[in-house]
Homo-oligomer: A and B are copies of this chain.
Amino acid sequence: MTDKSIFDQMQEIGKTARDAAAKLALANTDKKNKALLAMAASLRKNQDKILAANAQDMKAGQDKGLASAMLDRLLLTEERIEAMARGIEAIAAFKDPIGDVMDEWSVPSGLKISRVRVPLGVIGIIYESRPNVTADAGALCLKAGNAAILRGGSESFHSSRAIHACLIEGLKAAGLPETSISLVPTTDREAVGILLRDMGAFVDVIIPRGGRSLIERVQADARVPVMGHLEGICHVYIHESADLDKAVAVTVNAKLRRPGICGAAETLLIDEAALGSHLGPILDALIEGGCEILGDAEICALDSRVKPATDDDWYTEYLDKIISVKAVSGIEDAMEHIRTYGSGHTESIITEDGAAADTFLSKVDSAIVMHNASTQFADGGEFGMGAEIGIATGKLHARGPVGAAELTSYKYQVRGDGTTRP
């Protein structure tokens, strides 16, 4: 059953976002950057208000018994607010993708054709606990000339609202429509359903960022185009020719540097031929870092510190200091496991064998495939692309890190002189 008043509120948000998008598409770079810099200033100025709102969310989260990794994602500090402000300033400093002539050519008929970057229009973003997404996503959408409709997680509702107020202040300072960035003003889950089902006239694309339950919701309900930013079941695969030091360093970094990000490794695959030499040192280092180890029967038999993994574990994004470990018979077995259980996000092979690395990089069908590198590098900033909305795990439109350029479309401008087609 649709709550009429939420439905009406959402339609109104959609309509005003569509109107704002028409204006933003024509706003010049200076105006957009002025708004962005004013947003950053407002975040700094309103730091105390944001921290107070976050304290409300944190208390509710603790009372609800959220996991520590989840609470870490929710937490804001002075440093994290400063990082948000700097993030928006970095977006302002980055190149404006809009109006960029991507390509230009003439054809025998005499026509001159240019392919020009334009905004997508109105982007709906559905995300979970991390409140900084409110700032990052709103600012990135604006940079690319898009209006944004943001729906944050209910856990971060007060934090997101305080951050959103700063974005609005920035828009006003630059004379841009306040409705350029809307925050859905309710934690009612029905609002998500309306956004997915009933906003086709106003929303050009929905970007969901979250875990399994959001995936299932989106797959069942979406009637608008979706650019999926789904969970990261990222794998590190230790090939039999892996260098031991690199294997230990990369695995520990991929799992433990920040276990709560989508690029964190969740499963370690290890060649049977490398079990004797590599398994012990890798597990020692993980356990020393506070990581819990779940393994298949073969791994459990080799090390008494390992608890048994169930089939569900291979599908699980822990986002915590837990890793599942599986022995594989070789690279084909490893790739088959990734094909079956992976989410198409990021996978890394550790090997000194160039041919094995090439096989892995060409055959594994994920957004990011790595050789001798930590999966935690799966990040637009680390890729040199500036800020990102997240890592797209679908294959349509954008794949991998989604920055301002990935939030655009293009059109063809064709110039003739009374030219007719024979």
A residues adjacent to B (C-beta < 8 A): 25-26, 105, 107, 109, 111, 113, 118, 120-121, 200, 204-205, 219-220, 222-223, 225-227, 243, 245-246, 249-250, 252-253, 257, 350, 357, 361-363, 365-374, 376-377, 382-384, 394-397, 399-401, 409-421
In the complex the two chains form, is B245's CB within 8 Å of A374's CB?
A: no
Q: Given A225-B225, A371-B415, A396-B396, 20 other A-B contacts at CB below 8 A?
A: A105-B384, A109-B382, A111-B377, A111-B382, A113-B384, A204-B395, A205-B396, A225-B394, A225-B396, A250-B419, A253-B420, A257-B420, A367-B411, A369-B412, A369-B413, A372-B417, A374-B419, A376-B421, A383-B412, A399-B411
In the complex the two chains form, is B372's CB within 8 Å of A416's CB?
A: yes
User: A416 to chain B: which residues have CB within 8 Å?
Assistant: 370-374, 377
Given A382-B107, A394-B225, A411-B399, is A418 in contact with B245 using a C-beta cutoff of 8 Å? yes
In the complex the two chains form, is B111's CB within 8 Å of A361's CB?
A: no
5 A/B residue pairs, CB under 8 Å, sorted by A: A107-B383, A204-B395, A253-B421, A366-B411, A371-B413
Minimal beta-carbon separation of A236 from chain B (angstroms): 12
In the complex the two chains form, is B373's CB within 8 Å of A419's CB?
A: yes
Name the 10 nearest CB pairs between A and B, nearest first. A246-B418, A373-B416, A253-B420, A395-B409, A397-B397, A370-B414, A376-B421, A373-B419, A368-B412, A361-B413
Chain B's closest residue to A258 (CB) is: B421
The DSSP consensus for interface residues of chain A is mixed
A367–B413 Cα distance when bound, in Å, is 9
Given A367-B411, A414-B377, is A250 in contact with B399 using a C-beta cutoff of 8 Å? no
In the complex the two chains form, is B396's CB within 8 Å of A400's CB?
A: no
User: A414 to chain B: which residues have CB within 8 Å?
Assistant: 368-371, 373, 377
Chain B's closest residue to A383 (CB) is: B113
Chain B's closest residue to A251 (CB) is: B420
In the complex the two chains form, is A396's CB within 8 Å of B120's CB?
A: yes
Given A411-B369, A412-B368, is A225 in contact with B223 using a C-beta cutoff of 8 Å? no
User: A415 to chain B: which residues have CB within 8 Å?
Assistant: 357, 361, 370-373
User: A250 to chain B: which residues have CB within 8 Å?
Assistant: 418-420
A25–B373 Cα distance when bound, in Å, is 25
User: A252 to chain B: which residues have CB within 8 Å?
Assistant: 420
In the complex the two chains form, is A118's CB within 8 Å of B384's CB?
A: no
In the complex the two chains form, is B420's CB within 8 Å of A227's CB?
A: no
User: A245 to chain B: which residues have CB within 8 Å?
Assistant: 418
